[in-house]
A and B are shown apart, each in its own frame.
Chain A
Amino acid sequence: MKEQLNSIRMQAEQELSNVGSITELENIRVKYLGKKGELTTVLRGMGSLSPEERPVIGQLANEVRAALEAKIENVKDELTRKERIQKLDSEVIDVTMPGKRKMLGKKHPLSIVLDEIKEVFIGMGYEIAEGPEVELDYYNFEALNIPKNHPARDVQDTFYINENILLRTQTSSVQIRVMENKKPPIKIICPGRVYRSDAVDATHSPIFHQVEGLVVDKGVTMGDLVGTLKLFAKSLFGEKTDIRLRPHHFPFTEPSAEVDVSCWACGGSGCRVCKNEGWIEILGAGMVHPKVLEVCGIDPEIYSGFAFGLGVERTAMGRFNIDDMRLLYENDIRFLRQF
């Protein structure tokens, strides 16, 4: 019986080393260890053994069973691993095929720039004010120290609805509306659409966008204006950006300045973008004219303020190197998708 057990073991081990599938393995297990398996059959014959032999053979039989079970387990693991590898091999896909995109929409470049500007100023403690585009002459001109027949009115080529109502030529009109209704301290920006009678071409549009800024408080200085614009320029165009103020004239500020930023393309050394100037003009600014404060019932002896305005289209065109303003209003999806 001992020989019988050993031969079963050898035979089973022999068979197990050649097993190719889980099914085969199961068959082998049943063949030897199953209820009617060979090992079981042998064990059933134990009754005919002498009492001395019985424990010896019993132990051996258990050893054989344990060995076979362990072996089967090993082979099973091995087979499972192989089968998994085979399955994985059969499941190879071409990862270079296109992904299934959820097509997100895109924000218009003008909105991108506007949002960045808003972020910067909200961070500096500004609120966002709004005002009408169809505006009273009073708010667009008169209150801004541009009386009727002022030559500056010609320059701005205004669209009129009638004698008193026009399409605002500048977001400065919102300044007045805010100052009329709010006591200092005032810290606002007013983004918005403005209109001037310019025919459409690569650099002109009868409609464009501005962002106006206004600060009024006790003791606001021109140094504060310079500092604010410097911080703004750095936030929008990068830490290395510098600004330069050139004296200019606007009826509603005094002193007034045109403000250049160091060229974002070359950093100031001169290139095609800045036409070799090293500087690019982006905004107009100045200290709020005392007449404007007075019109709004704010005493210029007590309060002072600064204001600035910049063109959003120009800034966006500069930022994204867009060479034709018409692209911004044409809305070709191939253009919009680029931002």
Chain B
Amino acid sequence: MKAPISWLKDYVDINVSSKELADAMTMSGSKVEGIEVQGEEISGVVVGKILSLEKHPDADKLKVSKVDIGREVIQVVTGAPNVNAGDYIPVALAGATLPGGKKISKGKLRGIESNGMMCSIEELGLTRENFPDAPEDGVYIFNKEEELGKDVKVVFGINEETIEFEITSNRPDCLSIIGLAREAAATLKTEFKKPVIKLKEEDDDVSKYVSVEVKDTDLCTRYTARVVKNVKIGPSPKWMRDRLSAAGIRPINNIVDITNYVMLEYGQPMHAFDIKDIKGSKIVVRRACDEEILKTLDEQDRKLDSSMLVIADEERAIAVAGVMGGANSEIRESTDTIVFESANFDGTSVRLTAKKLGMRTESSARFEKGLDTENVDAAMNRAAELVEQLGIGTVCKGIIDCYHQKKDERTIKLRVEKINEFLGTTISKEEMINILRMLEFEVDENNMTVKVPSFRPDVEREVDIAEEIVRFYGYNNIEDTLLSGKAATLGKKTFKQSIEDLIKNTMIACGLSETYTYSITSPKVFDKLNLPADSELRKAVVISNPLGEDYSVMRTTTIPDMLEVISTNYNRRIEGVSLFEMSYVYIPKSLPLSELPYEKPVLTLGMYGGVDFYDLKGVVEELMAKLGIEDYDISPEKNSVIFHPGRTAVLSIKGEYAGVIGEVHPEVAEKFECPERTYIGVIETEKLVKNASTKSEYSPLPKFPAVTRDMALLVKDEILVKQIEDIIRQRAGKILEEIKLFDVYKGKQVPEGMKSVAYSIIFRASDRTLTDEDVNKAMKKILDGIKSSLGAELR
């Protein structure tokens, strides 16, 4: 809401600068977006009189003129076709600045010196709407003698300062000059000058001209109409046009301007119809028929439906209620008698209608917030007063007022102590009452009740009263306290949250950096992952109103996001990255969604560049160690379409699936523009949390020496080291301390299809020094087992 200061001053004494006012209003709840000073960009433009005008010797279209600017006569070369000797014109002198940052300097035009520029109205940043006498093309010519050398800003009276306020949705009353003036008065503690309307009403009664029937009273609680005869359509006076422009509304003609002026001043949208166009001289307020078409003032055909309210005559719609008038009843040059409309339409209905029709207007933006029914006639009378003031018509006697549902007055108890207790303040009863009265709340001091003014539907209960009081007492005058005397609470993280932190810190210690990616994605990623048509992962939660296909489903897997991050880095020629993310995937329990999906937390790992599968696996092992998870298993997985069939493994914890790690399938890597050797892991965080144990009990250091035996085995290529190790573990007995794989070799001296696998096996007993015999026995058991189950040979 843009409020010109001079307009505010009609209703409130402002004794401070605009900046001070703006700051004070911000702190009392009317946030200021900015202050616009009209003509701020214009300097050095003065009134000049053209003394002579001669042809430029070297240019047909230019003229050389002598211009009297009071203190001197200067030479100006101009191309303006419309000026003559004797004209008074605005002239920008050397050194002047014009809107848009244009600077005027001395110069030569086709060899002739020119010391200024004659200005058109547009060059001064003004519009022909505000200066209807300005020529369409050419320099502005003052219509009377002006003082030579006088600053044109003074002559034009362009010095308005306008404050733009951001009005919150609960305060439609502040979408008006009067509402803001009321706030300003309470803020500055100065007088609010309530409007007083004086009307002559010189002609016949309004009922002779028009009647009103409201059919759908649920959507129109009040409808008023007045008739103005002998209307002289023309431009509105300059002061009105100036104020409208400053407030951001284009002046059109005096009647339309009055409706807009009243809307800005009172916050009540209005409309004017040409009475000739009201068929049957009857206004009917009704729901539109389905498929009914109305061409609105912006010349667009609008298809209406029965959810929308229209203003109609006996035959057709003539306006979309609260949104926009129809072209069929618009005010024209020839209009002689008009009907003013001021009404209260249902906010939700107006909002939905405007949304459906895609035309949010100044009017609908106000109605949708819910306007004051008591303001309807006040605004109507103000419009009539302006008509009389401007002398542009005769106001007929009386007002048609269909008022169906007068709102109950709301009375709220005022408990001074309770409010102070709630706010943590010690505001006196008198101060509370003063503040409320400034805001036009009626306070009954005997019963300590407050009557809420009709324009404040947002004030419903005591807390709302408390807010009004503290707004003007000053939020920043509240003394800060720290919940003293309240029950002490222990701040802590849950076990789950602590484990999640531990996971994160372990990843970081392992050299992985954390990423954040979007959790909404494109369904196309499922194809890029080579997923079959019936894959569970394709069953995603779909957003019904997405920003576009790229952000249209909730992710069911984080793999594409990690691949995209890798791709971004790879395409920027970064040699390698190691990354992780802790986030969620969204798994619908049924589709279409009837209950909330399962938001499954996952840990995603990703790396490329100088790493292989075992780097990734190492991170997982480190994590398991840190979380104290011992009973886990990493086994080959050959059936995933996303991963390399020979370089992928499933992680299971206590026999339960917990994740997958592996090299990305080259086809998938290619589709995501990732390097061929890209490694990804996805681990279910809940499984980690479930099995983690943070208790790490100390085990005593060994007292007796260890015995180490090395062995090299010749086994078939397809035998997994895990198979060998399982046997070692099974057979070595309690004295086994550690198995260290130190070499796997294929090639020379090893037969085709075989490999050599070498281990150091470390034995130790906690209660004695082992003998050779002990160890030999264990080794024999191990070797026998490996030979018989795996057909291995000792090398």
Contact = CB atoms under 8 A, between A and B. Distances in A.
Interface of A: 102-108, 110-111, 118, 121-128, 132-136, 149, 151-152, 154-155, 159-162, 165, 167, 185, 187, 193, 195, 197, 199, 206-207, 215, 217-224, 226-228, 230-231, 244-249, 251, 254-258, 287, 289-290, 304, 328-334, 336-337
B511 A103 contact: yes
A121 B486 CA distance: 16
Nearest to B562: A331
A107 B514 contact: yes
A336 B515 contact: yes
Contact of B597 (A125, A126, A134, A207): A134
B169 A132 contact: no
A103 B584 CA distance: 27
A161 B541 contact: yes
Contacts of A218: 486
Contact of A161 (B485, B568, B584, B593): B593
Contacts of A151: 169, 347, 351, 368-369
22 contacts: A105-B514, A108-B516, A111-B514, A127-B489, A154-B355, A159-B546, A160-B544, A195-B520, A197-B545, A207-B520, A219-B485, A221-B422, A222-B478, A223-B479, A224-B483, A231-B482, A245-B475, A247-B29, A290-B461, A331-B517, A332-B569, A332-B572
Contact of B489 (A125, A165, A228, A249): A125
A165 B578 CA distance: 36
A251 B463 CA distance: 12
A249 B170 contact: yes
Contact of A159 (B171, B487, B545, B565): B545
Contacts of B31: 246, 248, 258
Given A133-B519, A249-B170, A165 B596 contact: yes
Interface of B: 26-29, 31, 168-171, 347-348, 351-352, 355, 368-369, 421-425, 461, 463-464, 466-467, 470-471, 475-476, 478-483, 485-494, 497, 504, 507-520, 541-547, 551, 554, 565, 568-569, 572, 574, 577-580, 584, 586, 592-593, 596-597, 599
Nearest to B575: A333
A271 B519 CA distance: 36
A222 B569 contact: no
A289 B467 CA distance: 11
Contacts of B597: 134
B373 to A, nearest CB: 18
A256 B481 CA distance: 18
A223 B351 contact: no
A125 B491 contact: yes
A207 B518 contact: yes
Q: Which 8 A-B pairs have the closest CB atoms?
A: A223-B424, A221-B424, A247-B29, A249-B168, A227-B480, A255-B467, A122-B491, A245-B475
Contact of B509 (A104, A162, A255): A104
Contacts of A199: 547
Contacts of B490: 125
B516 A149 contact: no
Contacts of B26: 246
A22 to B, nearest CB: 36
Contact of B478 (A102, A185, A223): A223
A270 B486 CA distance: 38
B568 A332 contact: yes
B422 A105 contact: no
A121 B508 contact: no
B508 A127 contact: no
A107 B568 contact: no
A167 B510 CA distance: 34
Contacts of B492: 122, 127
A336 B554 CA distance: 25
A337 B513 contact: yes
Given A160-B543, A207-B518, A106 B483 contact: no
A255 B466 contact: yes
A246 B475 contact: yes
Contact of A215 (B476, B483, B554): B483
A151 B423 CA distance: 28
Nearest to B574: A333
Nearest to B351: A151
A256 B458 CA distance: 13
A162 B544 contact: yes
B545 A160 contact: yes
A165 B593 contact: yes
SS class of chain A's interface: helix, strand, loop or mixed?
Answer: mixed
B508 A105 contact: yes
Nearest to B515: A331
B424 A206 contact: no
B525 to A, nearest CB: 16
A190 to B, nearest CB: 12
B482 A111 contact: no
Contacts of A329: 516-518
Contacts of B464: 254
Contact of B169 (A110, A152, A290, A336): A152
B170 A128 contact: no
A289 B355 CA distance: 29
B35 to A, nearest CB: 13
A152 B169 CA distance: 7
B481 A246 contact: no
A247 B471 contact: yes
A127 B551 contact: no
A244 B482 CA distance: 17
B593 A187 contact: no
A247 B508 CA distance: 42
Task: Indicate the member of A118, A332, A337 with the most B CB atoms within 10 Å.
Answer: A332
Contacts of B578: 105
Contacts of B508: 104-107
B596 A108 contact: no
Contacts of B599: 132-134
A304 B422 contact: yes
Contacts of A290: 461, 463
Task: Indicate the member of B467, B507, B520 with the most A CB atoms within 10 Å.
Answer: B467
A187 to B, nearest CB: 5
Contacts of A126: 489, 491
A195 B369 CA distance: 25
Contacts of A102: 511
A136 B595 CA distance: 9
A204 B583 CA distance: 21
A300 to B, nearest CB: 8
B519 A193 contact: yes
A245 B515 contact: no
Task: Indicate the member of A136, A185, A221 with the most B CB atoms within 10 Å.
Answer: A221
Nearest to A330: B568
Nearest to A130: B497
A222 B419 CA distance: 10
B422 A287 contact: yes
Contacts of B487: 185, 217
Given A161-B542, A161-B593, A331-B515, A254 B467 contact: yes
A201 to B, nearest CB: 12
B593 A162 contact: yes
A207 B519 contact: yes
A254 B510 contact: no
A109 B545 CA distance: 30
A155 B169 CA distance: 10
Nearest to B586: A134
A155 B365 CA distance: 13
Nearest to B517: A329
Contact of A128 (B352, B467, B494, B509): B494
A33 B658 CA distance: 78
Contacts of B483: 215, 217, 220, 224, 227-228
Contacts of B422: 221-222, 287, 304
A331 B26 CA distance: 39
Nearest to A254: B463
Contacts of B511: 102-105
